[in-house]
């Protein structure tokens, strides 16, 4: 339900207010406040404004990175240093974030998470605390960001199910994600998603009902995003713990380090990127024998989707890649049983190897999966998509190809690059290119590239199939 209020001029209604942060952010240094107010190219104000507006429009269903600012062009946010702590001053903010003149508590908490993560990451980078030139250093950076956000919870048995899937899915698929979330919630599992709409919202919504039935408290509905995504996919209203990672690679690492199992619902190129990221890691020889339950599932109407994904994965990464995932169609109870059994194996493995329940230290994530990929036209054309490479290395470049398409579809810098230079070109082994082109055409035909309702989708890529 979209509860956007409209003023007499026909534009979205706005509110200006000075608010006290709700939870988790008491004080900031003068230097931190100054950086948040700095609107120059080296300052943080632009990033803060973009991410803050996304949280204030929580629940909106859109994937247009410019749409929010077209609706609220005069919006601004300032963080103010005061004797008794900080205040957040909002100008021309969406009225839907307020009720009877007071900001909604959950929206306030998401706004605080934005300020917290932007300040923390920029400060650590400025001080050189994070060693981003080293693989283990990147992992420690991910850990520190999650710890600072108070996301990591010790002394809790493994129970975090990560759910991946598209923001642009059919109604039948969305309802199915709620059914799966409900079954997971009945069995005491918490939910972590990418925090947006569609398959990121549905499992959380289903789990809330199950948790209420079980009289379960302190439930976690964790949303993990990054600056390029949050502007196009506002957090859904159920998220009660939000963390903004610096880039997509650290976001993906946070999912697999925190999660005890992953469920993949139907999606588009972003979901394919996530699948290839995880499978590439699991295919690395150093990770052999580490249990990590991975389930692909959807309603019976989505069976063909998973057949296409399965066929593409086997063609590119080998038939035995299917050993790392299970496909379950139209059976939420079977999905929940499989996930609970898989998490039990994770628990026993962590106990045997004295690894933490709240962060998977033992998983080896190669630097190729951690290094931020800038999807320029040159970088996209230079991807080495050939099957004569080690499989985990091929998976890394396939992941980058899908990541570039995501950027061209919904990230502002990617959209601008396509407008300026035309579509990305993707080249590689002929048979793989034909399979990739077929898969992407299916995504377009199934309306999985962009949310319906706007103009017809124009591909931001060109696959060179020769």
Q: What confidence score (pLDDT) does residue 62 get?
A: 59
CATH of the domain at 284: 3.40.50.450
Whether residue 150 is contained in a domain is answered as no
Residues 312, 215 within the same domain: yes
Query: Of the residues 103, 120, 137, which one is the last residue of a structural domain?
Result: 120
Residue 40 lies in a domain: yes
Q: Picking from 41-45, 287-291, 341-345, which range would have the lowest pLDDT averaged per residue?
A: 41-45
Do 294 and 438 fall within a single domain? no
Cα–Cα distance for residue pair 118/120, rounded to 1 Å: 6
Q: For position 239, what pLDDT does the model report?
A: 96
For 83-95, how does the pLDDT look when each residue is reduced to its tens digit (9 = 90+)? 677 899 999 999 9
Least confident of 14-23, 69-78, 208-217, 227-236: 227-236
Question: 118, exposed or middle or buried, with CB in 10 Å at 0-12, 13-18, 19+?
Answer: buried
Paired tokens of 39? 């609107």
The residue among 319, 338, 365 that closes a domain is 365
98: CATH: 3.30.1850.10
Tell me how many domains the chain contains: 3
Is residue 143, in this structure, part of any structural domain at all? no
- 255 and 170 within one domain: yes
Last residue in a domain, options 335, 365, 395: 365
- Assess if residue 232 is contained within a domain: yes
Indicate if 181 and 278 belong to the same structural domain.
yes
Q: Are residue 170 and residue 72 in the same domain, yes or no?
A: no
Q: How confident is the model at residue 454 (pLDDT cuts 50, 70, 90)?
A: low
* Distance between CA atoms of residues 380 and 87, nearest Å: 43
Residues 49, 161, single domain; the answer is no
Q: Which residues contact residue 213 at a Cβ distance below 8 angstroms, ignoring those fewer than 6 apart?
A: 186
Can you give the pTM of this predicted structure?
0.92
Work out the pLDDT band at 7, boundaries 50, 70, 90.
Answer: low
**Do 357 and 383 share a structural domain?**
no
- Show the 3-state SS of 21-56: CCCCCCCCCHHHHHHHHCCCCCCCHHHHHHHHHHHH
Structure tokens given for 363: 């998983």
Residue 37: name the closest of 88, 83, 79, 74 by CA.
Answer: 79
In this structure, is residue 71 part of a structural domain?
yes
Q: Is 231 a domain residue?
A: yes
Taking residue 363's Cβ as centre, other Cβ atoms within 10 Å add up to: 18
pLDDT value, residue 396: 95
Same domain, 276 and 259: yes
Range in 64-68, 242-246, 414-418 the model is least confident about: 64-68
The answer, yes or no, to whether residue 292 has pLDDT greater than 60, is: yes
Claim to verify: residue 293 and residue 427 sit in the same structural domain: no
Residues of the domain holding 106:
14-120
Query: What pLDDT digit, counting tens, does each position of 433-446 carry?
Result: 999 999 999 988 88
Average pLDDT, the chain: 91
Please indicate, yes or no, whether residues 113 and 240 belong to a single structural domain of this protein.
Answer: no
Domain membership flag for residue 79: yes
Has residue 306 been placed in a domain?
yes
Cα 92 to Cα 36, 198, 227, 456, distances in angstroms: 18, 28, 21, 32
Across the range 345-368, mean pLDDT stands at 95
Question: What contacts 24+ positions apart, CB below 8 Å, involve 34-39?
Answer: 35/119, 35/122, 36/79, 36/115, 36/118, 36/119, 37/78, 37/79
The whole-angstrom separation of Cα 203 and Cα 236 is 11
pLDDT tens-digit readout, 236-289:
999 999 999 999 999 999 999 999 999 999 998 999 999 999 999 999 999 999
pLDDT at 1: 45
Q: Are residues 22 and 54 in the same domain?
A: yes
Looking at the structure, do residues 329 and 384 belong to the same domain, yes or no? no
């Amino acid at each position: 339900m979209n509860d956007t209020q409209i003023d007499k001029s026909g534009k979205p209604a706005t509110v200006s207010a000075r608010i006290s942060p709700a939870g988790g952010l008491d004080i900031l240094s003068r230097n931190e406040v100054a950086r948040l107010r700095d609107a120059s190219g080296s300052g943080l104000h632009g990033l803060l404004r973009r991410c803050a507006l996304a949280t204030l429009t929580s629940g909106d269903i859109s994937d247009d990175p410019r749409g929010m600012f077209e609706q609220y062009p005069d919006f601004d946010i300032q963080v103010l240093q005061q004797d008794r702590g900080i205040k957040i001053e909002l100008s021309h903010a969406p009225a839907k974030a307020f009720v009877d003149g007071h900001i909604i508590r959950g929206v306030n908490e998401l706004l605080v998470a934005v300020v917290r993560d932007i300040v923390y990451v920029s400060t650590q980078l400025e001080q050189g605390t994070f060693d981003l030139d080293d693989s283990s250093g990147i992992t420690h950076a991910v850990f520190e960001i999650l710890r600072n956000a108070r996301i990591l919870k010790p002394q809790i048995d493994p129970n975090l199910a990560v759910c991946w899937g598209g923001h642009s899915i059919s109604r039948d698929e969305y309802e199915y994600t709620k059914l799966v979330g409900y079954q997971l919630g009945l069995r005491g599992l918490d939910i972590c998603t990418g925090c947006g709409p569609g398959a990121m919202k549905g499992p959380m919504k289903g789990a809330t009902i199950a948790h209420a039935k079980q009289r379960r408290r302190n439930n976690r509905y964790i949303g993990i995003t990054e600056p390029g995504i949050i502007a196009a996919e506002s957090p859904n209203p159920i998220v009660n713990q939000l963390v903004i990672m610096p880039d997509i690679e650290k976001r993906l690492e946070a999912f697999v380090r925190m999660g005890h199992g992953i469920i993949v619902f139907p999606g588009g190129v972003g979901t394919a990127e996530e699948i290839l990221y995880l499978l590439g890691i699991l295919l690395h020889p150093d990770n052999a024998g580490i249990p990590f339950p991975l389930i692909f599932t959807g309603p019976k109407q989505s069976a063909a989707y998973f057949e296409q994904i399965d066929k593409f994965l086997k063609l590119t990464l080998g038939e035995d890649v299917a050993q790392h995932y299970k496909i379950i169609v139209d059976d939420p109870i079977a999905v929940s049983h499989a996930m609970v059994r898989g998490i039990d194996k994770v628990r026993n493995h962590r106990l045997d190897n004295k690894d933490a329940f709240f962060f998977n230290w033992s998983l080896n994530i190669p630097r190729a999966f951690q290094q931020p990929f800038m999807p320029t036209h040159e970088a996209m054309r230079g991807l080495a998509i050939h099957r004569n490479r080690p499989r985990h290395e091929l998976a890394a470049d396939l992941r980058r190809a899908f990541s570039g398409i995501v950027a061209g579809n919904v990230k502002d810098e990617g959209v601008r690059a396509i407008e300026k230079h035309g579509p990305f070109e993707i080249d590689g082994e002929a048979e793989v290119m034909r399979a990739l082109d077929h898969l992407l055409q299916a995504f377009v035909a199934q309306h999985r590239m962009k949310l319906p309702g706007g103009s017809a989708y124009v591909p931001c890529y060109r696959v060179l199939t020769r």
